[in-house]
Chain A
């Protein structure tokens, strides 16, 4: 319409000028490397030359049991890692936020800060601190459990195949619990007073007020947290690497996609890095995350919007 009535309107340069910095930076540090990775996964190093091999790297990844067994193991572990976060981190985060937003709670600011502090710690510190806490030799965990008569329940969790991954997931939950808590807390504070008052007039108070009024209103935030958790978990690497090393022992039981990618891409000890296979794994990680985010965007978020004001 506008173009028809005023055909001589000049090209709006400023849009391009203002977009350019962000676009250039994003392209240089996100889009180009991503495209480079995708491209790398289609090549293979043969006699010191990069040769185009189509999807051969992916065929190796899924067809050769030396790769596929490790890949599926890593994916399975990663899914379990994610499930623990969804079942433990997010409900507890919501609960903490609900408690914090209660007007009768004293020292709320202190709790808020204390619970959030681990999130800003480095992975290296968290990994080493927990390795020490859980150490059967000098750790405080066996001693503390002894004090309350639970010594018999102590096992070297990080060294046992059946417990190590769960233990690490819970360490990660401990570290990141602050993020869902803060987001939900903010969402709870933004619920208008009128809505709460109206609910109270209708006789909905206490727990049922939380379930019937507040929870539906913070569902979009919970959705955002879920997707953040999903992306974070499937990109995770650092905690496993600092606590268990690149071989993600015992017996690969804590191997997730991040550590699997690291070993393939950069190599480890005598294993020489294979950037092409590494890029193939990275591409699979990208596709998995992309798939998860799409499911969220197209199936979940569209429904959540209806609750918003």
Chain B
């Protein structure tokens, strides 16, 4: 009953909403999104830029709350009142919409050639044949460091693992700063900023990830256990009581200048720029030997697709082609430092920290988080288990080998590759 009521309400608002615009002869496109934070950027920058180039098409950005987005979108799609353009969550959530026929196939959309296969992977069928969302932005993992602290202690930016640990030792011996700001209380920090951050260097990015999905490699292989072994070595460099340190605690420790290195995701840039009173720099996850190929986690996070039931499909496709263009990428990436365009053509960004992050794309190979595609569909859920086990490894509850074995056993129980 509540569902019907909700549907009726949504239907009502959509009719009223469009009724107000009906007098305009132009085509009006509605964008569904969970990014309420971006409303001003869309209204003031992105939409005017598009409308200036495409007279006759009006665009309305209509976000809903992040926690309600998926449910509200589902109800609107079922009632036929959803907007023409739909902001896509990565992987299974959007794939499900595509399979239900809610999202149109965009493989042939002009502009899609601007994206690399890795960028498109988050919004493709498992066989990679059909794409259904235009990739918009990704987040990159690395380490942000306190430049003042490094200068004071005379530490050079580490590029190899030995240099990295030597730097940590030096900071610890000095005692002014906590060497690394990370906690295990919220679990995901250990997995996302830890395991998925340093891991690609061990499992060779996409090669290892693809082999894992095909079943050619296992999480118990040396390349997948080694990042856990490194994580276990982080323990002495974390602050007192890191077991109860939450994600906001870590952020505050770093921005207050009490910690020297912060295992980061690029989404922190915006916040850190406003909070930190010192100079910051960033370095990619260190490699084993100088000159080794480096791999970074360049994780696809947000995309945009076309509602299959849209009455303005042609106008919507024009808009999506524009979203796939370098123009859009430049405006978007500059308005939201830390959310990087997935466009293959380089984007000029003003923010120095964001520039540093994105420069790694040229010298390193990109991959996405190993657990996101396909492998987290069953029970137990590999991503959630990775959170728990990464924290366990750092806390010393589990050895790296034991953690890897638990994850592989859990995966084996439901995932049978090649069938």
Contact = CB atoms under 8 A, between A and B. Distances in A.
A binds B: yes
Interface of A: 48, 64-67, 131, 134-138, 142, 155-161, 244-245, 247, 249-252, 263, 268-272, 274
Contacts of A249: 184-187, 387-388, 391
A66 B410 contact: yes
A161 B187 CA distance: 13
A249 B398 CA distance: 14
Given A156-B241, A160-B243, A270-B372, A247 B387 contact: yes
A268 B91 CA distance: 15
Contact of A159 (B92, B244, B388): B244
A137 B245 contact: yes
B40 interface: no
B371 A270 contact: yes
A268 B92 CA distance: 13
B388 A252 contact: yes
A271 B397 contact: no
B383 A137 contact: no
Give the 9 A-B CB pairs with smallest separation, nearest first.
A136-B241, A159-B243, A156-B244, A159-B244, A156-B241, A271-B381, A270-B376, A270-B383, A156-B243
B244 A271 contact: no
A160 B384 CA distance: 19
Does more than half of chain B's interface fall in helix, strand or loop, or is it mixed?
loop
Contacts of A252: 388
21 contacts: A67-B379, A135-B241, A135-B245, A136-B242, A136-B244, A137-B249, A137-B252, A156-B244, A156-B245, A158-B244, A159-B183, A159-B244, A160-B243, A161-B395, A249-B387, A250-B185, A251-B388, A251-B392, A269-B381, A270-B91, A270-B92
Contacts of A270: 91-92, 371-372, 376, 381-384
B383 A250 contact: no
A269 B391 CA distance: 17
Contacts of A136: 239-242, 244-245
Interface string B388-400: 1001100101100
B253 interface: yes
A240 to B, nearest CB: 13
Nearest to B379: A66
Contact of B92 (A137, A142, A250, A272): A272
Nearest to A159: B243
B304 to A, nearest CB: 21
B397 A251 contact: yes
B379 A247 contact: no
Interface string B192-215: 000000000000000000000000
B58 interface: no
B187 A245 contact: yes
Does more than half of chain A's interface fall in helix, strand or loop, or is it mixed?
loop
B388 A135 contact: no
A157 B245 CA distance: 11
A64 B380 CA distance: 11
Contacts of B92: 270, 272
B377 to A, nearest CB: 7
A250 B392 contact: yes
A157 B413 CA distance: 34
Given A66-B410, A270-B371, 14 more contacts: A66-B414, A135-B246, A136-B241, A137-B253, A138-B249, A155-B241, A158-B244, A159-B184, A251-B388, A251-B397, A263-B384, A268-B381, A270-B381, A270-B384
A255 B130 CA distance: 40
Nearest to A245: B186
Nearest to B178: A137
Nearest to A67: B379
B240 A250 contact: no
Nearest to A136: B241
Contacts of B244: 134-136, 156-160
Interface string B350-384: 00000000000000000000011000110111111
B383 A269 contact: yes
Interface in B16-31: none
A247 B388 contact: yes
B231 to A, nearest CB: 15
Nearest to B389: A251
Most B CB within 10 A of own CB, among A159, A244, A268:
A159
A161 B383 contact: no
Given A249-B388, A251-B391, A66 B245 contact: no
Interface in B161-204: 183-188
A201 to B, nearest CB: 57
Contacts of B391: 249-251
B376 A271 contact: yes
Contact of B243 (A48, A66, A250): A250
B242 A159 contact: yes
Nearest to A272: B92
Contact of B185 (A158, A251, A269): A158
B384 A250 contact: no
A137 B243 CA distance: 11
Nearest to A28: B1
A271 B414 CA distance: 14
A197 B417 CA distance: 81
A131 B397 contact: no
A136 B240 CA distance: 7
B245 to A, nearest CB: 6
B123 to A, nearest CB: 15
Given A245-B187, A249-B187, A271 B243 contact: no
Contacts of B410: 66
B152 to A, nearest CB: 22
Nearest to B410: A66
